Amino acid sequence: MNASLLTGKTIVVTRAVEQSRKLLSKLREEGAEAVSFPVMHITKAEPGATAKEIRREFDAFEWVVFTSINGVRYFFEWLQAEKLSLAGMKIAAVGRKTAESLERQGIYVDLIPERFEGRELAALLKRTVTPGSKVLVPKGNLAKSTVKKTLAGIADVTEMIVYQTKKNPVLDAGQLPAKVDLLLFMSPSSISFFSETIGSRLADYQDVPAACVGPVTASRAKATGFRKLITANDYTEEGIIDTVRIFFGKGKQ
Q: What pLDDT, on the 0 to 100 scale, is given for residue 1?
A: 37
Strand, helix or coil for residue 103: helix
Q: What pLDDT, on the 0 to 100 scale, is given for residue 252?
A: 59
Domain with CATH 3.40.50.10090 in the chain: 2-39+170-250, 43-166
CATH for 2-39+170-250, among 3.40.640.10, 3.40.50.10090, 3.40.50.720, 3.30.70.20?
A: 3.40.50.10090
Closest CA to 223 of 188, 184, 196, 199: 188
pTM, to two decimals: 0.85
Q: What pLDDT, on the 0 to 100 scale, is given for residue 14?
A: 97
Q: What pLDDT, on the 0 to 100 scale, is given for residue 102?
A: 96
- CA 220/CA 194 separation, integer angstroms: 12
* CATH fold label, 43-166: Rossmann fold (3.40.50)
Burial of 226 (0-12, 13-18, 19+ CB in 10 A): buried
Please list the pLDDT of the chain residue by residue as tens digits (253 residues). 344 789 999 999 999 988 899 999 999 999 999 999 999 999 999 888 889 999 999 999 999 999 999 999 999 999 999 999 999 999 999 988 899 999 999 999 999 998 778 889 999 999 999 999 999 999 999 999 999 999 999 999 999 999 999 999 999 999 999 999 999 999 999 999 999 999 999 999 999 999 999 888 999 999 999 999 999 877 788 889 999 999 998 755 5
Burial of 131 (0-12, 13-18, 19+ CB in 10 A): exposed
- CA 37/CA 60 separation, integer angstroms: 43
